[in-house]
Amino acid sequence: MSDAMLLNVLLFLPLGAAALLAFVRGNANAVRITTTAAMAVQFVIAMVLYSHFDGAVPGLQAATSVPWIAEWGVSYAIGLDGVNILLVLLTAFLGPLVILGAWTAIEKDVALFHVNVLLLQFAMMGAFLSQDLFLFYVFWEAMLIPMFLIIGIWGGARRSYATVKFVLYTAFGSILMLAAVIYLVWSLQQAGGVASFAFADLLQARLPLDVQITLLAAFALSFAIKVPMVPLHTWLPDAHVEAPTPGSVILAGVLLKMGTYGFMKLGFPLFPDATRLFTPVLMSLSVVSIVYGACLALVQQDIKKIIAYSSISHLGYVMLGLLSLDLAGIQGAVIQMVSHGLVAAGLFLLVGMVYERGHTRELSAYGGLARQIPVFGVFFIVFTLASVGLPTTSGFTGEFLVLLGAFTAAWPQHLDGVHLPLILSVTAVTGVVLGALYMLRFALTFVFGPEKAPHGPLTDLTLREKTVLGILTVSIFALGLFPDSALRKTELAAKTYQQLVSTSRLPNDAK
């Protein structure tokens, strides 16, 4: 089977598995086993495609492109490149772990829940693989439906409020992006006489600066909501707190990366002149997200909210790396996306596991867990240290490269009298310090201190839970100690992104 066929199987496998659940929907364990098996097969396919992917070859690999709505210039176009390869692998990797890690967390409408998880997996994978803007937008919107249902049906007491807020924020940004997509394609048709939604064609478009500014604003608003960046972040804590454990893991592990991926794949390369013009503003918002998210995490008493606000801070580093336009910073941003997906997934799984035992997420209700459930305590400390960027973990690799790239890009500007980038880079370092403060405060209260737990003594992790967390732990250290493979896969794509955003594409008569 060719790589192109494998990639199509990778994409559509969750749909096939969702259909298969109709035959086993009466048996909850059969539903879980079928879903896990399908996700595991998807991960194996992703690993095969990852091993075949050559980072030194420009352009798409394992690509498929067939006309879909020919008169509109729409194609079913998917493929792998250095921007999406690691995120595709991350999505496939987390799939079976989400189901295994929260095996007993869902007891109501088990089949319907797993159908929604599979549909969400299909939509997320499709968004990453799409090479046609119309197809990308379809998958982008499709992700909203299963996540809405996952939170709205299986969420907590305030799930209705959380889902409405999530939908309103996302829909508002998406509507503006749709208008921008239509205008962008219309502009390309007016200039060249041919309508096309293909990324490769849109990246050749030359637009006046005022048009670039307007379109970038529309795309950036939609992507910034998904990241989320301050001040568009307020939907995230509510969604995380009310979502069931698998929903939180998917949301933090993969869904938030849609925003940063959108900026890297589309927002900044499509409108390079507007991007460079607004880089100081966007970089400032990124650093505000880093510091403000960390400060908010520092004062939370709900353990889910601590991790939710930490996500805002960590993804601020991704944005900082992308905006630095330095090769190390760009690659660090990609590594940070993957690292945050692994670490946040582990932390939310741990929170879900202790919630199943204690039935509360109040930090003050727990203490001394290292003595009560020592295996849980060990895993919690490992993921805590990865979150604060301890050397040898993936968190260190991503944050170090981002900060290195930010300083490398800022220093020459500082010497030329432009001091803001250096000030922002220095300020971003305080996020590392604040991250250590809120996570170590969390660990000190949660794992150490006087022993206490709601509803009597807690039971330690089961073999299933240990296996899931052990796999995530190995992956975190593997990416932290041996990042060479990932960096080689993404280097050429990072250079291409750097060139696209650094090169003006104003109309010839406007230069």
Return the closest-CA partner of residue 431 out of 329, 320, 291, 300. 291
pLDDT, residue 20, reads 93
Angle at 75 between CA 74 and CA 77, to 5 degrees: 140
Model confidence at 192: pLDDT above 70: no
Cis geometry, peptide bond prior to residue 272 (ω within 30 degrees of 0)? no
Q: What is the pLDDT of residues 397-432, one digit of tens each?
A: 999 999 999 999 999 999 998 999 999 999 999 999
Q: What is the pLDDT of residues 51-91, one digit of tens each?
A: 999 988 988 999 999 999 888 889 999 999 999 999 999 99
Return the closest-CA partner of residue 79 out of 265, 335, 340. 265
Burial class (CB in 10 A: 0-12, 13-18, 19+), 299: exposed
Model confidence at 145: pLDDT above 80: yes
> What is the arithmetic mean of pLDDT over 167-179?
87
Confidence of residue 193 (pLDDT cuts 50, 70, 90): low
pLDDT, residue 510, reads 57
> What is the arithmetic mean of pLDDT over 191-218?
86
Model confidence at 318: pLDDT above 70: yes
The residues, any chain, with a CB within 8 Å of residue 115's CB and separated by 6 or more, are 18, 21
Confidence of residue 258 (pLDDT cuts 50, 70, 90): very high
**Residues 209, 140: contact at Cβ < 8 Å?**
no
The pTM of the full predicted model, rounded to 2 decimals, is: 0.94
Distance, first Cα to last Cα, the chain? 49
**What are the start-end ranges of the E strands in 322-408?**
none
Least confident of 114-123, 311-320, 449-458: 449-458
The residues, any chain, with a CB within 8 Å of residue 398's CB and separated by 6 or more, are 317, 332, 333, 335, 336, 337, 338, 339, 340, 389
The residues, any chain, with a CB within 8 Å of residue 376's CB and separated by 6 or more, are 350, 353, 354, 369, 460, 461
Q: What residue type is assigned to position 108 of the chain? A: K
Q: What is the pLDDT of residues 432-476, one digit of tens each?
A: 999 999 998 888 888 887 888 787 788 899 999 999 999 999 999
Q: What residue type is assigned to position 56 of the chain? A: A
Tell me the torsion sign for CA atoms 81, 87, 91, 92: positive
Task: Return phi, psi of residue 67, to 5°.
Answer: -60, 140
- Return the domain boundaries, the chain: 3-506
Return the closest-CA partner of residue 406 out of 386, 430, 423, 387. 423
